[in-house]
Amino acid sequence: MLKHAGICPLSSQACEDLLIEAGLPRGVFQNIYASGSQMEPFIADKRIQGVSLTGSEGAGSAVAKTAGEHYKKSLLELGGNDPFLVLDAENLEWVLDRYVDIRMFATGQACNAPKRLIVQPEFYDRTVAYLEKAIGALTVGAYDDPDADVGPLSSIGARDEIVDRLATAAREGTATIRVGGKKIDRDGAYMEPALLTDVDPSADVGCNEIFGPVAIVYKANGVDEAVRIANEESEYGLSSSVWSSDVDKAHEVAARLKDGMTFVNEHAVTAAGLPFGGVGRSGYGRELAQWGVGEFVNEKLIRVSGQRSAGLSPT
């Protein structure tokens, strides 16, 4: 049974139609056209054995509470505030191009997108200057616009929330908007891709996920400081990445990051044979392959004694 997000009933129905077309009997897969507030009795129903949620922290907390009250397994795939650590300036422009591409993919609406770029002081100014130019040059347009680099957000409300949060941060002095960040005056949920620096890690835009086309750059004085920023200045723990020409050093740093998934010289890699999931405010449990199946099966032990029956000698 699938309860889709309220803004995508047509794509949810398309999933069911495709499964039926592929031969799945009707009724095996079912869409539930209900609001989030109506889901508690569905989860509580004794016929439901487990629940998996991809969504907001608020929804995750509500689902986990109901599942726990009824002794059912749950899996939560929530938000992320992924760090992207750059340890040296070797191939810096290439690395920054990868950051922009991955951060702006799907208009920044990916839970495992790299939100926080953390660099060293010796190439911080160079990084900011390069990103100002690169992000400022991105073209915003519709999905069928061949010249567009970034599309609209999922809804007008989602766009307005991000624009308001950025304006508040700039007004309160908890972030500097280097480029972009404003609503685009045209039909649709469009906004200018943005670059933030001087971000207060304890402020809203620092410690909470921005689910849109917004890049943030932090300056760290050394590797230890970079690891501290990555681990301690966010309660999320979905994924992270470390970029360096020294792979051994990058691997060592990667092992120190407190996330469900960490990558070296790549980011946001998903594949059917890799487990997917996080820790902390990013949720719990793992999806895909044997890990995903294992979340919703019970391991049963059957032990057979060597004795034929009570009181008889073993054979």
Looking at the DSSP bridge assignments, the partners of residue 219 are 119
User: Residue-wise over 174-190: b if at least 16 C-beta within 10 A, else e?
Assistant: bbebbbbbebbeeeebb
Is residue 271 left, alpha or beta, with left meaning phi > 0 and alpha meaning psi from -120 to 50? beta
Measured CA to CA, the distance from residue 182 to residue 299 in angstroms comes to 52
- 194 within 8 A of 159, measured Cβ to Cβ: no
Measured CA to CA, the distance from residue 165 to residue 200 in angstroms comes to 13
Looking at the DSSP bridge assignments, the partners of residue 176 are 197
| Burial status of residue 68 (CB atoms within 10 A of its CB: 0-12, 13-18, 19 or more) | exposed
- Rg over CA atoms, the chain: 23
Please, which residues have CB within 8 angstroms of residue 212's CB and are 6 or more apart in sequence? 107, 108, 109, 153, 158, 159, 162, 191
- 13 within 8 A of 31, measured Cβ to Cβ: yes
Quickly tell me which residue has 């469009």 as its tokens: 190
Give SS3 for 224. Answer: helix
Please, which residues have CB within 8 angstroms of residue 248's CB and are 6 or more apart in sequence? none
Looking at the DSSP bridge assignments, the partners of residue 196 are 177, 216
- 5 within 8 A of 157, measured Cβ to Cβ: no
Positions marked active-site: 77, 111
- 105: which DSSP letter? G
